[in-house]
Chain A
Amino acid sequence: MRVPFLAVLPWRSLLLAMVTLFGVAVVSFVLLRVVPGDPIAMMISPGASPEDIMRLRASYGLDRSIPVQFVIWLGHAVTGDFGTSISMRQDVMHLIAGRLPATTELTLLALVIALVLGIGTAVLSTLSRRKLVGAAIENGNGILLAVPDFVWALTFVVLFGVAWQILPISGRIDPRISTDFATNFVLFEGLLRLRPAVVGDVLAHMIMPAFALALPLAAVIMRVLKGALEAEGQQDYALLAKIRGRSKLRITLQETLRNALVPTLALTGVQFTFMFGGTVIVERIFSYPGIGNLAIDAVINRDLPLIQGLILVFGLIFILINLAVEASFAMLNPRLRHG
């Protein structure tokens, strides 16, 4: 059943992905250069002479034409050099690399929560014979589909941060807890090093933003999986199993769930990229130090190098997720495996 990962890796998609990423780079670069407002004007001190401005402009390469600027920028970008952030006066790549682990941990936790909730409720509503349970799940699902992560995040702040003060509403870890970790993957490294105090505190900070991100995704997973489970339940093999006297629970868990998960997974991948987008606002609400929060600061400060770097990093993440989904899709469904 297992196939080597390289064999299922969709090379054609990989090539397309590279083209897409290049397109994103070109479009964002050109758009950001036609922005009204001079980045230099924000950097100079009030007493600067025109010569100073010219010198500064030349030192940033802003006196060249846009195509030339792009080629220079691209040459640096492929080596991981995205320039220096204007508002934070730090290396862009360094800034993003420092924030990325926090966002990665948050979205992965949210994905796990969404999968457990979505698959759990879908199986539950398929198995349940009671109309009341089905209707309750259906209505709850309708609300979850309608309400965005933004609203959930703030609702959690009010409920569990203020009304019933059991969870911290901002940050990633209590500053009093010392972490002498090698990486910024505080949760993962805490787990590996068996540091329950760190893991517990990080989880307490992450649980609300993760749930806010997870709920809309869980609703989509549940809706798709439930439909797929119903369709699979009508297939010959499922009916045969039923005739042979297998219980509905066994048929669902052993036979139909596996097949129904294939279309669900495909859609989860797409929705997961949307969830990654949702981190922008949810991280803001919880003052969570990830790249989403950084992106908003960058836009507010009109920090062009940082915006440019973030757009590419976001684009790269979206593309990687789609590739991973395609590869795992082929692994689960042998019919899609092409020679």
Chain B
Amino acid sequence: MVERALPEASVSSAPIAGAAPRRGASIWSALLAEPRVVIAGGFLVLLALAAIFAPLIAPHNPLEQDLMLNTLPPAWVDGAEPGYLLGTDSLGRDLLSRMIYGGRVALTVALVAAFAAGLIGTVLGLLAGFFGGWIDAAVSRLIDIWMAFPPVLLSILLVAVIGTGLTSVILAIVVIDWTRFCRVVRSETLQQARMDYVDAAVVLGTSRWRILFVEILPNLLPVVVVLLSLEMGIAVIVEAVLSFVGLSVSSDMPTWGGLIAEGRQIIYQAWWVLVFPLVLLFATVLAFNQLGDGLRRLVDPVLLR
């Protein structure tokens, strides 16, 4: 009961075989039963498109300063300038364009960090769960040590050691969060390895590596996808936090956290510089979370009770 209470732990209890009948034609009706997957997923696709095609979509150059046009309010407020939909910051830079370009950094970090953490955690979890023995002992010990090390401590230490920048942010997230994947994948692999189809494959003379990566791994993918989605939400937050305190990318690159930090400075003169990026961050984090949660329910019929 306690284990199920936490979202990250509850992913593990899924009997994956149950997802099979939902494949094929019924996938659309399954999606309709879980509308938040569609809503959250749709929002994130739009966000990704805006980030990819930022130079085409953004109404202005995000770095272009015009001190004559500083702290313009959003278009629907008195004193606004048409063409600056969400207003400008203290240097006269267009807020909407900066938010769109900031999405590039946020989504890059989310994708790269989550996939790298997922890859390392999944491979180690598979090996530990399937081969057992000293590999399992070593990986489990490593996870224990990692869990004893509080994440904040680790991230402060990491940023202090490797310095600021996009790579450091991604590296910090990967180093801290690979255990999230490893723990779940390890216990899932343990369960799968006991199933009949694995025994059948052994009898047929399939090699152990083939069993692990061709037979077992596909059954774990739904769980990994759920974890990936949740991890991307976490990565977006970490990037925002680090850029908020000025420990992420250099300051000439717009980031959501950087915009929020600037907005915090001039909150009484220009509330919009804080509010709009904050709303966008909130929506993005919630979308990743709801997508992960919705996917979890789709692949885990037990939770639908």
Contacts and interface: CB of A to CB of B under 8 A. Distances in A.
Given A277-B150, A296-B245, A314-B150, A154 B2 contact: no
Interface stretch (B20-28, B209-217, B274-282): B274-282
A277 B285 contact: no
A227 B281 contact: no
Contacts of A161: 267
Given A277-B151, A314-B152, A223 B6 contact: yes
A34, A145, A230, A266, most chain B CB atoms within 10 A: A145
Interface stretch (A1-9, A175-183, A189-197, A299-307): A299-307
Nearest to A34: B161
Nearest to A260: B1
Interface in B279-297: 281-282, 285-286, 289-290, 293
A148 B237 contact: yes
Interface string A253-297: 000000000010011000001101110110011000000000110
A263 B2 contact: yes
A24 B275 CA distance: 39
B244 A281 contact: yes
Interface residues of A, number: 57
B278 A158 contact: yes
A155 interface: yes
Contact of A231 (B1, B247, B274, B281): B1
Nearest to B163: A36
Interface in A195-252: 220, 223-224, 226-228, 230-231
Contacts of A267: 2, 5-6
B40 to A, nearest CB: 11
B148 interface: yes
Contact of B7 (A145, A273, A284, A296): A145
Nearest to A287: B264
A150 B5 contact: no
A285 B247 contact: no
A296 B5 CA distance: 33
Q: Majority SS of interface residues in chain A?
A: helix
B245 A281 contact: yes
Given A28-B157, A154-B264, A318-B153, A300 B271 contact: no
Contacts of B286: 143, 146-147
B160 interface: yes
A108 interface: no
Contacts of B4: 227
Contact of A154 (B148, B160, B278): B278
A252 to B, nearest CB: 16
Contact of A277 (B148, B152, B157): B152
Given A274-B150, A280-B152, A157 B264 contact: yes
Contacts of A276: 150, 152
A303 to B, nearest CB: 9
Contact of B245 (A158, A300, A314): A300
Contacts of A157: 264, 267, 274
Nearest to B242: A281
A36, A142, A231, most chain B CB atoms within 10 A: A142
B260 interface: yes
14 contacts: A146-B233, A150-B237, A151-B282, A155-B282, A157-B274, A161-B267, A220-B5, A274-B150, A277-B153, A281-B241, A284-B245, A300-B245, A314-B150, A318-B153
Question: 8 closest Cβ contacts across the A-B interface?
Answer: A277-B152, A146-B289, A224-B5, A227-B1, A223-B5, A263-B2, A231-B1, A227-B5
Interface of A: 20, 24, 28, 31-32, 34-37, 142-143, 145-148, 150-151, 154-155, 157-158, 161-163, 169, 220, 223-224, 226-228, 230-231, 263, 266-267, 273-274, 276-278, 280-281, 284-285, 295-296, 299-300, 302, 304, 307, 310-311, 314-315, 318
